Amino acid sequence: MPDTSCSLRRLEGDGNRFLLVDHLGGDSVGDPIEHARRVCADGTLEVDGVLHLDRNEEGRLAMVLYNRDGSRPETCGNGLRCLAWHAVDAGYEECGTFELSTDAGLTLAQVWRTSESALEVRVSLGPIRIIEQVALEGPVHEATWVDCGNPHLVLFGGDVAVEEWGPRLSGDPRFPSGINVEFVQVGAGSLSVRVWERGVGETAACGSGACAVARVAVERGLAAWPVRVALPGGVLTVSPCEENDGLWLQGSVRVLNDGTL
């Protein structure tokens, strides 16, 4: 079944780029898996995944994300920030606090306007749980397995070849559903991170990954709240959230373009 009236609003959250399918605004696609594979392979669009915005049976805004390979991750921090920004920009929600539904459960979004009338947004991910330490064979001998609603493997250490070790660790048989991998270097005032996302490859940013890194860094005494996580696409700020031992994720959102596809 071909795509019907799909908009071409592309949103970027600190380097993570998404195509938005706004079902509330009349967008629709046929097979969302094949649609995601096709648009993510389009070199002119340059997106990491496709966000679908709708409402669930309870009337809450709901996010579904499809990765570059068509897989459907449980949640996505930067995707949620982009979706919350769009929900207020489009008039579906007012500035303030509201809930968003994901495959990992409900999360909170807070959106407000600055003195220059720009929208700022942060979302709560969590609970963020450290599962266990994982022994590795390679340039880093140990990593931390973290559950942010989706799985992450956080590595602290030297100059690791991300292009080699990202796919190797992401596809490790100990993680049958795959895992996102964060390669962290500790610097003055922030943590520098490169991310290999399952179903995507290396990306310019990862919001849930930033939360995983911040949680582990604070537990190890390598950082204090709020934590600045520097990724190739921008800097994300992570701070404690009182809800469910979660973390607030804050960063920039911008519209790359609008149109039709």
Q: Give catalytic residues, as residue numbers.
A: 76, 206
User: Within the chain, how many helices (H) and strands (E) appear?
Assistant: 4, 17
Distance CA 6, CA 106 (A): 26
Nearest residue to 84 (alpha-carbon basis) of 28, 25, 13: 13
- Cross-strand bridge partners of residue 246: 241
Containing H/E element for 20?
strand 16-22
Q: Are 167 and 196 in contact (CB under 8 A)?
A: yes
Nearest residue to 22 (alpha-carbon basis) of 76, 64, 60, 71: 64
- Other beta carbons less than 10 A from residue 51's beta carbon: 25
Exposure class string for 156-167: b at 16+ Cβ within 10 A, else e: bbeebebeebbb
Query: Helices (DSSP H) in the chain: which residue ranges?
Result: 32-41, 77-89, 162-170, 207-219
